[in-house]
């Protein structure tokens, strides 16, 4: 509960707070049964950091399609939403995505899988997470204010699970700022190099504005008029953080920053 008496619906499994997917607890407890394949792609990040974008980029590059499809990433969200048994039936190459820390995955998955970790300004991700929770329907919605949400989740949002990068063997960090440059890097990392024309098309089709218009969403998740896609801009945190909140966030985040294997080049 926050200081205003509002809570966040979640379940704690192995020390990690997770959304209330129907089978999330059993899926996490059975994660050691997951058998990785050498061509698996695992997209990892903190929530609201660009998972949908990278998922669509990877899918277009690996399938050779020119248009987005109606499939949604939640269909291969492991282990939060998908059981191990269902993943075994998927053809290779599998494109999986997760917000679960890498430390929970079996060693086999960390050694074999091609892991793409998305880096977004953590303050923008924090703010997007707040609005995401506010816009959900029913019992999973957060009914409090930004100040209440900040105090309730600051420790998780500032530190998240970036500290477990070193567990991965085949790892690519992707930033959300330069889309075309990152599309090319993703293609080369996966072993699917393309022409500049293809990179231009993928960049266009996977832009925030195009995806917001083209991708169909399950409407039963959202309050009327709301959506998975909100603003998709850099720096919106400045419209929410107070000076005191900014200082508190920086103090926690900077302790973690020095332990990272990658340069965190964000405006803080």
Task: Give the CATH number of the domain where residue 96 resides.
Answer: 3.40.50.300
Two tokens, residue 219: 């409407």
| Whole-number Å distance between alpha carbons of 266 and 68 | 30
pLDDT in tens, 13-59: 888 888 778 888 999 999 999 999 999 999 998 888 888 889 999 99
Angle made by CA atoms 74, 202, 120, in degrees to the nearest 5 = 60
109 belongs to a structural domain: yes
Q: Predicted confidence band at 188 (pLDDT cuts at 50, 70, 90)?
A: very high
Question: 98 near 44, Cβ under 8 Å?
Answer: yes
> For the segment 104-143, what is each residue's pLDDT rounded down to a tens digit?
899 999 999 999 998 888 899 899 889 888 887 776 788 8
Structural domain total, the chain: 1
Establish if 3 belongs to a structural domain.
no
Residue 5 lies in a domain: no
Averaged pLDDT of the chain: 84
Give the span between the Cα atoms of 143 and 134, in whole angstroms.
6
Q: Is the pLDDT of residue 220 over 50?
A: no
Residue 260 pLDDT: 66
Tokens of 34: 């997951």
Measure CA of the first residue to CA of the last residue in the chain; give whole Å. 27
The domain in which residue 56 lies consists of 11-257
> Residues 6 or more apart from 216 whose CB is under 8 A from it?
70
Residue 162 forms part of a structural domain? yes
In a domain, 37, yes or no: yes
Q: Is 66 helix (H, G, I), strand (E, B) or coil?
A: coil
């Amino acid at each position: 509960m926050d200081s205003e008496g509002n809570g966040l619906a979640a379940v704690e499994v192995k020390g990690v707070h997770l959304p209330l997917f129907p089978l999330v607890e059993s899926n996490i407890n059975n994660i050691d049964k997951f058998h990785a394949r050498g061509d698996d792609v695992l997209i990892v990040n903190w929530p609201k950091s660009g998972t949908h974008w990278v998922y669509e980029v990877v899918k277009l590059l690996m399938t050779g399609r020119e248009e987005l499809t109606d499939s949604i990433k939640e269909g291969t969200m492991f282990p939060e939403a998908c059981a191990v048994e269902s993943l075994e039936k998927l053809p290779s190459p599998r494109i999986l995505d997760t917000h679960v820390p890498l430390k929970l995955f079996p060693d086999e998955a960390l050694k074999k899988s091609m892991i793409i970790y998305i880096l977004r300004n953590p303050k923008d991700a924090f703010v997007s997470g707040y609005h995401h929770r506010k816009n959900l329907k029913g019992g999973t919605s957060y009914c409090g204010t930004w100040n209440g949400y900040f105090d309730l989740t600051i420790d998780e949002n500032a530190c998240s699970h970036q500290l477990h990068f070193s567990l991965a063997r085949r790892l690519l960090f992707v930033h959300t700022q330069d889309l075309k440059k990152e599309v090319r890097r993703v293609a080369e990392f996966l072993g699917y190099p393309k022409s500049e024309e293809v990179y231009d098309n993928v960049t266009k089709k996977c832009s925030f504005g195009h995806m917001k218009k083209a991708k169909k969403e399950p409407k039963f998740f959202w309050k009327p008029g709301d959506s998975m896609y909100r603003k998709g801009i850099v720096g919106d945190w400045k419209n929410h953080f107070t000076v005191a909140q900014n200082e508190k966030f920086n103090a926690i985040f900077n302790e973690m920053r020095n332990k990272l294997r990658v340069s965190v080049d964000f405006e803080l």
